[in-house]
């Protein structure tokens, strides 16, 4: 199972984008995500290092550095996934085994294609697309 870090980061970014005039403290963001504020602060740090948000020392809240339509979900993915490869092949398969000797090559190809498809999809979706889907029914 892929972890929830990307989903949480998109949640945080959507919340910040939906309330641009509010200085949301990490406690409020954590309540929306239903997690610990420490987790939120860690994620905010990652998003800030990636240049997606900005914060002010001594002041609660964060703001986007770009308009939501200029932030792709791939940008968010790259910000919070330190190892951007979703899939890994186990180390040291037995090369004397007919499966073990070729499994890395075969799986690298399959996993690479899946990763490429995911990245293409994430690059075509923006934070604005998420906001539209969240709030179009209101």
User: Residues 5-18: what's their mean pLDDT?
Assistant: 96
* pLDDT of res. 58: 79
Two tokens, residue 14? 């959507």
Q: Is 3 exposed, middle or buried (0-12, 13-18, 19+ CB in 10 A)?
A: exposed
| All structural domains of the chain with their residue ranges | 5-84+126-135
* Torsion of the alpha carbons at 6, 124, 16 and 136, rounded to the nearest 10: -120
Structure tokens at 29: 């963001």
Q: Which CATH number fits the domain 5-84+126-135, given the four candidates 3.30.390.10, 1.10.3720.10, 1.10.10.10, 1.10.1740.10?
A: 1.10.10.10
Q: Is 124 left (phi over 0), alpha (psi -120 to 50) or beta?
A: alpha
Whether pLDDT at 67 is above 90 = yes
What is the average pLDDT across 45-68? 93
d(CA 53, CA 113): 31
pLDDT in tens, 82-118: 776 778 888 889 999 999 999 999 999 999 999 999 9
């Amino acid at each position: 199972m892929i972890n929830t870090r990307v989903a949480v980061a998109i949640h945080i970014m959507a919340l910040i984008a939906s309330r641009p005039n509010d200085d949301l403290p990490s406690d409020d963001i954590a309540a929306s995500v239903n997690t610990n504020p420490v987790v939120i602060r860690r994620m905010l740090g990652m998003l800030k290092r990636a240049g997606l948000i900005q914060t002010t020392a001594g002041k609660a809240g964060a703001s986007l550095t770009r308009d939501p339509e200029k932030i792709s979900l791939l940008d968010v993915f790259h910000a919070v996934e330190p190892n951007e490869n979703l899939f890994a092949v186990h180390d040291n398969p037995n090369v004397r085994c007919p499966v073990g000797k070729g499994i890395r090559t075969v799986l690298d190809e399959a996993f690479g294609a899946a990763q490429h498809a995911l990245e293409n999809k994430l690059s075509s979706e923006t934070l604005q697309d998420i906001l539209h889907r969240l709030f179009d029914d209101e």
